[in-house]
Structure 1
Amino acid sequence: MSGSVSQEPAYVLHRRPYRETSLLVDVFALSAGRMTLVARGGNSAKSPLKAQLQPFQPLLVDWLGRSDLKTLTHTEVRHGPRLVRTGALYSGLYINELLQRILPPGDPCPDLFGAYIETLRALSETDDIEPVLRRFERGLADAMGFGFQWGRATDTGLAVEPGRHYGYDPEQGIVSSVSPDIRLHNLAGEVLLGLEAGDLERLACRRLAKRVMRVLVDHLLQGRPLHSRNLFSHGRGESHES
C-alpha cells in the first residue's frame, strides 16, 4: 500500500527501539498484511504510543509513505480480549512470532486476519490451548498455500482408510507413499479420519496433529528460529505449541 491509509484494523506483532526516541513496529493489518511502521517519538517517556502499541491490542491505525517503511501517524485503541493466563500469553506470543517470521510483507491475508482475531478470543476464554493453536496453524498453512485434507491422500486422490498407515510431507500433504523421503510415517488412518472430522479431544488425535504441524511450521520457517518455543518449555514444562 502506498500514500496514506486511515482507520486500518491492525495488531502489533513486535516492536523494537529505533534511533533515539522512535519505535519500529511490526503489525498485522487487515488490508495490508504484515508490515513495519515507524512510530516517531514512540519510545520517548511522554509518548502515549508506548502504552498503545502493545501485542494483542486491537487498533485502528493511520500511516503515510510510499516506501516499504511507512510512518505511523495516528493510533486508536479498540476493545478486545485480554490474555491474562500464562498459557494464553505464551500462545499469543507464539502465533505473533509465526506471523512475523513466516508471512511475506505486504501480502493481504483477510481470512487469516479473521482467524487471528478468533484465536485471541479463544485463548482468552479457555485453558485448553492446544486445539486453538492447531486450528490457527492450519489457517496459516492455508494462507501460505500449504493447506491439506487430513482425510485424503494427495498422491492417489483416494480417501484415507482406517486400518492403514500414511505419511505426511509439507509439500504434498497426507500421502499413502512409504518413500524414505517422506517426512513423517506411520500415521494411523483412523486417527487421520478423526482429525478430518474435527476431533482434537482424543489424545491420539492431538499427538498426531502436533507432529504434523511441527513439521509444517518448521518447513515454513525455513531454518529461522522460533524463540517463543522456549517460553513453553521453560514456563510450563510441556510445550503445547507446534
Structure 2
Amino acid sequence: MPQNLQAGFLLHQQNYQESSLIIDVFTRESGRVALIAKGVKRQKSSYLGLLRPFIPLNITYIGSGNLKILTHVETGHSDAILPGLNTYCGFYLHELLRHFIPVGEPYPDVFLHYLVCLQQLKTSQEIEAALRTFEIQLLQALGYGLQLEIDYLTHQTIQATENYQYDIQQGATVNAQGNILGATLIAMQQGNYSDTRQLSEAKRLMRQVIDFYLQGKPLKSRTLITKLIQRESCKNNSSY
C-alpha cells in the first residue's frame, strides 16, 4: 500500500488532453488540491471509474506547483449514490467548497462537517436543515461567522417571539417590520429547526449571506435545483 495516503473527495473534474483529467479534490490534511490524473480515461487504466463524487478516496500525489500529479487513488467502502434531488444538493456543497476554500489551505473541521452533511444527504429527510447547518459551519470556519446570539444594538439575548432585521456585517436587531423571527435565529444557532417557517427564513437569510460573500459569482447548482423543484411542482399540480 502506498505511503502517505490522504483522505479526500472529488469536487470537480475536467478533461485534459485525450486521456487525462484535471481534478479538484478536497482532502482532510491539505485542503483543496488541484491534480492531473494522467491516463485515467484509458480503458486499461487501473483507476478507470474510481474518480467519482461523493465517495471517499485515498490518494497520493507528487509535485510542488499549483497543479500536482496524482500517483495513486483507491476508494473507500461507501455507496456514492444520493437519492433524487439530493445529488444536486451534494453538487451545491461542492460548489460552496470550491468558491470558499482556498487551494492548499487545510480545513479539517470543514472536512468533518462535509462528511456529516454528506451522510445526511444519503440517509435523512432533514435535507434543508442539513444544508443550513453546513453553510453556517463553513462560514464560521472561514471567519465569516453569523452573529445569532445577541441583538447588536441593544446587546440583549435574541428573543424567540420578536421580529428581527439582519445586517450581514453586524447581525440582528429588533425591528417590528423585520422579516426573520427570533426563533429562527435561535434555531440556526443550535442547528435544530422545529417548523417550515424557520427553515424558510433560514434559507432566505443564508442565501443573502452567501451571495454577499460571493460578490456576484453565480452558483450553477442552486439554479438547477430551483428549476428541478419547479418542474416537480408543475407535475404534481397537473394531477389535480
TM (normalized to structure 2)?
0.86
User: 1:57 maps to which residue?
Assistant: 55
Q: Which residue of 2 aligns with 1:175?
A: 172
Alignment of 1:137-216 (within 5 A): 137-172=135-170, 174-176=171-173, 185-216=178-209
1:194 & 1:140 partners in 2: Cα distance?
A: 17
Q: 1:188 to 1:85 in 2, by over 3 A?
A: same
Give the 5 Å matches for 1:9-88: 9-88=7-86
Aligned pairs (5 A) from 1:1-12: 6-12=4-10
Matches within 5 A, 1:224-235: 224-235=217-228
Aligned to 1:92: 90
- Aligned residues of 1:83 and 1:123 also touching (Cα < 8 A): no
Aligned twin of 2:212: 219
CA contact (8 A) 2:55 2:75 kept: yes
| Contact 1:38 1:72 survives alignment (8 Å) | yes
Distance 1:156 1:47 in 2: 63
TM-fit CA distance, 1:193: 3.0
How much is the aligned-residue C-alpha RMSD, in angstroms?
2.4
Query: Aligned-pair distance for 1:155?
Result: 4.5
In 1, Cα distance between equivalents of 2:231 and 2:187: 24
For the residues of structure 1 that align with 2:157 and 2:39, how far apart are their CA atoms? 57
CA contact 1:232–1:238 (8 Å) conserved in 2: no
Change (3 A) 1:137 1:68: same
* Offset from partner CA, 1:113-135 (integer Å, 9 cap, x none): 00111111111102331111111
In structure 2, stretches of 5+ residues that fail to align are 233-240
Query: What amino acid is the match of 1:168?
Result: Y
Structure 1 position 159, deviation (Å): 1.1
SS in 1 for 2:129: helix
Structure 2 CA distance for aligned equivalents of residues 207 and 153 of structure 1: 21
Secondary structure in 2 aligned to 1:23?
Answer: strand
CA distance in 1, matches of 2:60, 2:187: 45
Counterpart amino acid of residue 229 in structure 1: R
5+ residue gaps in structure 1? 179-183
TM-score normalized by the length of structure 1: 0.86
Q: Distance in 2 between matches of 1:6 and 1:154?
A: 47
* 2:116 is the alignment partner of 1:123: no
Instruction: Tell me by how many angstroms 1:83 deviates.
Output: 3.0
Whether contact under 8 Å (1:63, 1:74) holds in the other structure is yes
Contact 2:120 2:126 in 1 (8 A): no
Post-superposition offset of 1:35:
1.7
CA 1:195/1:230 → structure 2, altered by over 3 Å: closer, same or farther? closer
Give the residue type in structure 2 aligned to 1:221.
L
Please tell me whether the aligned partners of residues 87 and 127 of structure 1 are also in contact (alpha carbons under 8 angstroms).
no
- The number of aligned residues is 230
Measured after TM superposition, the shift of residue 156 of structure 1 is 4.5
How far apart, in 2, do the equivalents of 1:31 and 1:90 lie? 26
